[in-house]
Amino acid sequence: MTESSEMGSKMRKKSEIQSQKAALQRCLREGRIEAGCDEAGRGCLAGPVFAAAVILPPNFENHLLNDSKKLTERQRDQLRPVIEAQALAFGVGVVSNQEVDQINVLNASFLAMHRAVEQLSLKPEHLLIDGNRFRAYPEIPHDCIIKGDGKFLSIAAASILAKTYRDDYMNRLHEEFPEYQWQKNKGYPTKVHREAIRKLGPTPYHRLSFRLLEEQLKLNL
């Protein structure tokens, strides 16, 4: 690499970091204790829905922190202990696949976020919710923010925790049912995952209310 191209690369990285800092806001309103909330696993065929709630300190900074979907697995794993160490409080909520079947996945995502908020050791004054819908948490007002995990640091932090905790859980389930390759697809509807369902049928961790096979609306059990 030439000196000029190396300098250009450094300038681009610096520009990316600066633009990312500008894009991710610390809070919606200064001086208020806000918890960012996000979920992971809504679109999966198997496994629970996970959610996280995170309260970050007012001066929190991290140039890498962003929407979990924009980061590599290594970057997410690198950020998780940083978030847990520096957050004023964080909580993780889980809703099982059986509960998803009972109440539907949208309600499951709301319930998972409620359970995450319940785990917070510090009560927030306001909730920042990723997405456009939410069921109000008792006595705590909220704002729904579309693509909030790419706009607010606290929601981005919640997206990291929800994703990494769920991935860890699906990696453990993979050891029990390796044929479905959950260590790779994490329960999402990949070709390999659906082919395993076709050959072996659903496991106790599959969401039976979901369309498990593309060509049929109902799985014959």
pLDDT tens for the 221 residues of the chain, in order: 555 555 555 544 544 444 444 469 999 999 999 999 999 999 999 999 999 999 999 999 999 999 999 999 999 999 999 999 999 999 999 999 999 999 999 999 999 999 999 999 999 999 999 999 999 999 999 999 999 999 999 999 999 999 999 999 999 999 999 999 999 999 999 999 999 999 999 999 999 999 999 865 444 44
| 95 and 112 Cβ atoms separated by less than 8 Å | yes
Is residue 44 a part of any domain in this protein? Answer: yes
Is residue 218 a part of any domain in this protein? Answer: no
Is residue 133 a part of any domain in this protein? Answer: yes
Q: Which domain covers residue 52, as residue numbers?
A: 28-200
Is residue 135 a part of any domain in this protein? Answer: yes
Is residue 172 a part of any domain in this protein? Answer: yes
Is residue 184 a part of any domain in this protein? Answer: yes
| 124 and 33 Cβ atoms separated by less than 8 Å | yes
Is residue 146 a part of any domain in this protein? Answer: yes
Nearest residue to 156 (alpha-carbon basis) of 72, 54, 82: 54
CATH code: domain of residue 145: 3.30.420.10
Is residue 7 a part of any domain in this protein? Answer: no
What's the confidence (pLDDT) of residue 6?
A: 58
SS (H, E, C) 80-117: HHHHHHHCCEEEEEEECHHHHHHHCHHHHHHHHHHHHH
pTM score, two decimals?
Answer: 0.87
Number of domains the chain is built from:
1
- Beta-strand ranges (E) seen in the chain are 34-40, 49-55, 89-95, 126-130, 142-145
